[in-house]
Amino acid sequence: MLSDSYLSKISRAEKVYRGVAGLRLPDEFLTRDEFGVRGGVEYGFLSATTDRSVALAYASSGSSTGVVYEIQQTMGSRGADISWCSQYPFEKEVCFAPLLGLEVQEAADGAPAKRIEGGVVVVELLASVSHGGLEEEWATPEKPTPPLPAHTTGAKIAPAKDSAKQCVGLRVAPAEKSPLRGVVPTPRF
């Protein structure tokens, strides 16, 4: 898994940024769930950059308000610096493995830590890398790990409580009940 690779172990635990044009964050993403958590789970690989200006450019590229995820990596939750093999090395790309938890941080007043900067919404997040578990629980020679359902392909962040319910054992609700329904697929950053 990418999170356990040598690449992520040598990357710095610094802030990274992901810019998304034309995305409105769902209310569930910014509202505490029954466990007191705000945020979501990224089903696929998440690409980000250490260069804030690159993320701002991506977020500003659409006709409607964009969002920049300001993601704080930690000692145990880091992405892999893949700029050395990128077609666009100047973008300073960092990649996270699937099932990355993104927790919305809290401002001093208790509200979600978000602000408007240069016409885009900036949301402060804390990364929480999945270090396995689902694969180990499910994968056996008789019962291989089931793939993620087709309706999640290309979609991005789902509300945390719904994602957790769906990801346990990778048993997924029908597409019409998916928390991803209506969420706009996002570009690279």
* Predicted confidence (pLDDT) per residue in 93-142, tens digit: 999 999 999 999 999 999 999 999 988 999 999 999 876 654 444 445 56
Helical residues (DSSP H) of the chain, grouped into ranges: 6-10, 27-30, 52-59, 134-138, 160-167
Pairing of strands 93-96, 66-72: unpaired
Region 156-180: what's the mean pLDDT?
43
Burial 144-175 (b: 16+ CB within 10 A, else e): eeeebbeebeebbbbbbbbbbebbeeeebeee
Nearest residue to 3 (alpha-carbon basis) of 160, 110, 17, 13: 13
Both tokens assigned to 49: 């950059």
Q: Alpha-carbon distance 164 to 141, whole Å?
A: 25
Residue 19 near residue 67, CB atoms below 8 Å: yes
CATH superfamily entry for domain 15-129: Toxin ADP-ribosyltransferase; Chain A, domain 1 (3.90.176.10)
Q: Count the helices and strands in the chain (H runs, E runs).
A: 5, 10
**Residue 90 clears pLDDT 80, i.e. is over it:** yes
pLDDT at 152: 42
Both tokens assigned to 126: 């804390």
pLDDT band at 86 (very low <50, low <70, confident <90, very high): confident
Query: Is the C-alpha dihedral spanning 100, 106, 111, 114 positive or negative?
Result: negative
Least-confidence region, from 9-18, 81-90, 136-145, 152-161: 152-161
Radius of gyration (C-alpha) of the chain in whole angstroms: 16
Region 166-171: what's the mean pLDDT?
38
Least-confidence region, from 4-18, 36-50, 152-166: 152-166
pLDDT at 179: 44
Q: Is 31 exposed, middle or buried, given 0-12, 13-18 or 19+ CB atoms closer than 10 A?
A: middle
- For the chain, the structural domain boundaries read 15-129
Higher pLDDT, 131 or 35: 35
